[in-house]
Chain A
């Protein structure tokens, strides 16, 4: 079956531009997560969605970062006025359940963002 799909796979943009990253989770998965992975590092949590609401935005590094999810499915992560330190791989994951009966998260292959 289809896994988590992210687009674009690569994005190169100039400093100061806005970028929008897209995530299509596994069908039926209610929980959706965004993470960021810098070169050679582990993953850093950004935001968690349950349905269309985001009960945990604690990982967003600044107010230049925002995310939304519509129809309980597709999510977009927007970075405004990009800076060079935003360069990283942005990974999306989804799971069928989060809470007392947490289920495994399944990841997409990420968007590699390079800020010139």
Chain B
């Protein structure tokens, strides 16, 4: 079946530094990808999405890069803040049902 893997289960960065969270997916037919942030006790919160006809998309302090050739995404967070501490998931969307395929997430820890 489809799978999603994140390269590091935990990423620790200094406040103010940039963070890069990586994600690999297995299904070359995936054409839509969403990044979510999940804080303890909360549901996943939408951060940014990207479709397969793009290779880069920018939001507020976040950039997502998509490399379809190697089936890899990254989420870059600029000037990381303590409030960015959370678990981050990339989720390819599967087929026409729109269901999300989640991996285990990367925990981002921001040190003051």
- A interface with B by C-beta (< 8 Å): 4, 31, 33, 35, 40-45, 48, 55-56, 59, 91, 93, 95, 97-100, 102-110
Contacts and interface: CB of A to CB of B under 8 A. Distances in A.
B27 interface: no
Contacts of B96: 98-100, 102
Nearest to A55: B97
A107 B99 contact: no
A104 to B, nearest CB: 5
Contacts of A106: 46
A96 B36 CA distance: 17
27 contacts: A33-B98, A33-B100, A41-B104, A42-B102, A42-B103, A43-B102, A56-B97, A56-B99, A59-B99, A91-B43, A91-B44, A93-B43, A93-B100, A98-B97, A98-B98, A100-B96, A102-B32, A102-B96, A103-B98, A104-B34, A104-B46, A104-B49, A105-B46, A105-B98, A107-B43, A109-B42, A109-B43
Interface string B34-67: 1010000111111001000000000000000000
B98 A43 contact: no
Interface string B88-112: 0101010011111111110000000
Contacts of B104: 40-42
Contact of B43 (A4, A31, A59, A97): A4
A40 B43 CA distance: 13
A35 B4 CA distance: 16
Q: Which 8 pairs of residues, A with B, have the shortest CB-CB distance?
A: A98-B98, A107-B43, A42-B102, A43-B102, A102-B98, A56-B97, A109-B43, A45-B99
Given A42-B104, A97-B98, A98-B98, 6 more contacts: A33-B99, A35-B100, A44-B102, A45-B101, A48-B99, A104-B49
A102 B32 CA distance: 8
Given A41-B104, A42-B89, A104-B34, A99 B98 contact: yes
Nearest to B31: A102
